[in-house]
Each structure stands twice: as structure tokens, then as C-alpha cells.
């Protein structure tokens, strides 16, 4: 059986990066309908109501499981196609926005099926415009690809034996009552400093468009319970001082990033609010300006804590950002479980950083 790398990173950006600050029309969103067949061990997704009703459900093989996400049935600004393939042999529907994964899967027994343009729909390739991640999971035993925007459901699937295959794309969350709900993600503009060409966004972890992994350094993490503040720096002297003088507790390496700008990376800005004792990190210049207007300042000359990828390329994984209004604390972690268990969390933003 063909098994994919758990660090699923293969993304082909088919849109010009300059379009990324344009959001797709939310009035054209449609539900991505989900059904499951226990006899075939297959999750099936379509935006086509007739296909769901007359083909999947009519025979009694599939059971309807509701709306898994909201996405677009036709191309929209900033979106990329999700290709749909089917493996007849193992009854498995497979969805990917990576065009280089398509031939790999075809070699392993999957083929295009009846979906128009071989596409299941259109999603954002990274977190913009209020979009949230669609998690992708794979059970190699039953050969089932499973997609969900519900992080708890994705973790339960991992407990049940599914592999975590990362993020399949970014879409709009459905709400419990079936109305479209924007996620709490704060929209950000993609920085204009990306040098990678769309063709180079494919899976290679070492290509001329990737930063040199040998130059990556740990981003150190500490927490102050007195100030309710998570603090991150690559500077070990500064970290030592924070622990010795300001009563922060060292909590280890949060991630790896670059101390100077490398190919395809963008600055991760660092700001500080003395009043609320809160360190804030973002790649979004709009957010920087909003923070400055709210009383945050740059507290280092460099104004950034290092350089990261703005989306998943070159083997990079997401770092989750959370905000707790209790104690005004911005918290960053690459661990999904930790992001779930953090207290007082009111927001979650995914973006990309080297691991």
C-alpha cells in the first residue's frame, strides 16, 4: 500500500500570490457534503447534492454525515482546486490540492472519477480571509482518507488508528445549525517578499526555493504566570535574563526558524504590550499596525524574532496561535493537543514555520 509522508506539505499554488489579499465571495460558498460507508470503509465528499442523494445514498451503501466544510464549487480569487480521485480496488475517495500528489496516487491505484474538472471544489491554500484548516487523515489498514474541520474529531481518528496527514486546505467552518460561520482566524495579507515561484511550492524539502535547514535555530519558549505571558526568543542570553530577572519559567524549544532572512521566508514580527504584559508575534503587517495602535511596541531593534515560511512549503508544519483574554496572553505552539488544552482560548490561527 502506498503510504504518504505524515508531513504532508505538497502544495501547488495555482494563483498569483498577489491575489491572496483578495477574498473569495462568501455568498457563493456551498456545503462540502460528507457520507460514510462502513462496509466499504470510505469517506465520500461532494458539493453536488444530486450526486450525494442519487448516487451515494440511494443504494444504501453510504450514510449521510452532514456538512464537513463550506467551500467553492467553481474557481474564486485566492482559491486552488481540490482534486478528487477514487481507488476502485480499495473503495477510497482521495482529495488533494497538490497536483504532484495526483500522479503518485495514480501509480498506487487511484484514478480520476466523474468529478467535473477532476475537482471536488476550491479552497484557500493557506489561512486567509477567515478560513480554517481542513485536517486530512489516513487509515492504511482500511485504506480510508478522512477529512474534517473538527480538530477533536481529527484527534479521535488518530486515537482510532488514522495517520495525521496535515492540512488538506483552508475552508470556512460550518456552524452547528448549518449556517456558514467564519472562523476566528484573523485575516492576514500575504507578505510581498516571497521569492518562491508557484512551481516550486511542491513537496521537495530541499530545493532552490527552500531556506537552508542547517541555518535554522530554536525559538525558545518561556512563561510567566505572574504576568500571564508566553515569551519567545532565539536569543539565549535574553532568555536567561528573563528567567533570572523577570521570573519566567523556561519551557523548551517551541519550533525552529531562521535568525536571518532566507529564501521564501518572511519576518515574524515581535511586539510587546507593557500594560497587559503580553508578547505578540505575527507575520501580518496589518496586524502589526493594529497592535501598534492598541499600545503594543517593538521591544527589540530587529523588530522581529526571526524568519518563517508564510505557508506550507519545504516540509514546514503549522504553528498554532491562541489568545486568552484572561490575562491577555498570546500563545504559540506546534502541538495540536496543547493548542486544544490551553485554557481560555478564544482564537486559533494556523500559519507555517519550519520544524
Q: Does 55 bind ligand NAG (CB under 6 A)?
A: yes
Edge-to-edge strand ranges of the sheet holding 229-233? 229-233, 217-224, 249-257
Is the CB of 117 or the CB of 289 nearer to ligand NAG?
117
For ligand NAG, the binding residue among 40, 77, 104, 109 (CB under 6 A) is 109
Contacts of 286-293 with C-beta under 8 Å, sequence gap 24+, read 286/188, 286/189, 287/186, 287/188
Binding pattern for the stretch 286-305 against ligand NAG, x by CB under 6 A and - elsewhere? ---------x----------
Q: Is 167:134 a contact under the CB 8 Å cutoff?
A: yes
Q: Which of residues 215-244 bind ligand NAG (CB under 6 A)?
A: 235, 237-238, 241
Is the CB of 212 or the CB of 241 nearer to ligand NAG?
241
Residue 160 CB coordination number (10 Å) = 10
Question: What's the min distance (Å) between Cβ of 310 and ligand NAG?
Answer: 23
Question: What's the min distance (Å) between Cβ of 25 and ligand NAG?
Answer: 14
Cell of 58: 440511494
Q: Which of residues 66-85 bind ligand NAG (CB under 6 A)?
A: 73-75
For ligand NAG, the binding residue among 28, 175, 303, 346 (CB under 6 A) is 175
Is the CB of 119 or the CB of 165 nearer to ligand NAG?
119
Q: Is 130:185 a contact under the CB 8 Å cutoff?
A: yes
Size of the site for ligand NAG (CB under 6 A): 24
Dihedral angle, C-alpha 210, 211, 216, 220, nearest 10 °: -80
Cell of 110: 487511484
Q: Which of residues 111-140 bind ligand NAG (CB under 6 A)?
A: 116-117, 119
Q: Which residues contact 64 (CB under 8 A, 6 or more apart)?
A: 33, 34, 35, 52, 57
Question: What's the min distance (Å) between Cβ of 107 and ligand NAG?
Answer: 10
Cell of 174: 460550518
Residue 6 CB coordination number (10 Å) = 11
The binding site for ligand NAG (CB under 6 A) comprises 48, 50-51, 54-55, 73-75, 89, 109, 116-117, 119, 175-177, 179, 181, 235, 237-238, 241, 275, 295
Amino acid at each position: 500500500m502506498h503510504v504518504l509522508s505524515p508531513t504532508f506539505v505538497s502544495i501547488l499554488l495555482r494563483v498569483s500570490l498577489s491575489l491572496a489579499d483578495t477574498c473569495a465571495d462568501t455568498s457563493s460558498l456551498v456545503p462540502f457534503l460528507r457520507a460514510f460507508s462502513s462496509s466499504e470503509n470510505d469517506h465520500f465528499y461532494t458539493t453536488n447534492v444530486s450526486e450525494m442523494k442519487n448516487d451515494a445514498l440511494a443504494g444504501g451503501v453510504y450514510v449521510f454525515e452532514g456538512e464537513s466544510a463550506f467551500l467553492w464549487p467553481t474557481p474564486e480569487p485566492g482559491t486552488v482546486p481540490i482534486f478528487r480521485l477514487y481507488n476502485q480496488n480499495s473503495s477510497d475517495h482521495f482529495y488533494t490540492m497538490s497536483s504532484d500528489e495526483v500522479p503518485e496516487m495514480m501509480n498506487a491505484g487511484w484514478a480520476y472519477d466523474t468529478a467535473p474538472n477532476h475537482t471536488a471544489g476550491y479552497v484557500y491554500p493557506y489561512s486567509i480571509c477567515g478560513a480554517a484548516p481542513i485536517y486530512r487523515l489516513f487509515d492504511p489498514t482500511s485504506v480510508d482518507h478522512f477529512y474534517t474541520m473538527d480538530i477533536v474529531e481529527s484527534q479521535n481518528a488518530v486515537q482510532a488508528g488514522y495517520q495525521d496527514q496535515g492540512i488538506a486546505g483552508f475552508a470556512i467552518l460550518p456552524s452547528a445549525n448549518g449556517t456558514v460561520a467564519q472562523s476566528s482566524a484573523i485575516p492576514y495579507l500575504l507578505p510581498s517578499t516571497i521569492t518562491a515561484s508557484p512551481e516550486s511550492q511542491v513537496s521537495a524539502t530541499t530545493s532552490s526555493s527552500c531556506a537552508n535547514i542547517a541555518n535554522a535555530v530554536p525559538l525558545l519558549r518561556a512563561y510567566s504566570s505572574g504576568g500571564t505571558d508566553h515569551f519567545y526568543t532565539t536569543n539565549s542570553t535574553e532568555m536567561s535574563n528573563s528567567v533570572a530577572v523577570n521570573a519566567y519559567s523556561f519551557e523548551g524549544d517551541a519550533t525552529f526558524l531562521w535568525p536571518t532572512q532566507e529564501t521564501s521566508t518572511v519576518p515574524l514580527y515581535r511586539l510587546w504590550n507593557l500594560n497587559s504584559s503580553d508578547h505578540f508575534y505575527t507575520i501580518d503587517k496589518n496586524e502589526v499596525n493594529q497592535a501598534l495602535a492598541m499600545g503594543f511596541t517593538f521591544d527589540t531593534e530587529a523588530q522581529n524574532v526571526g524568519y518563517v515560511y508564510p505557508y506550507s512549503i519545504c516540509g514546514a508544519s503549522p504553528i498554532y496561535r491562541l489568545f486568552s483574554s484572561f490575562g491577555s496572553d498570546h500563545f504559540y505552539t506546534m502541538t495540536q493537543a496543547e493548542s486544544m488544552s490551553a485554557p481560555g482560548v478564544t482564537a486559533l490561527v494556523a500559519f507555517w514555520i519550519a520544524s
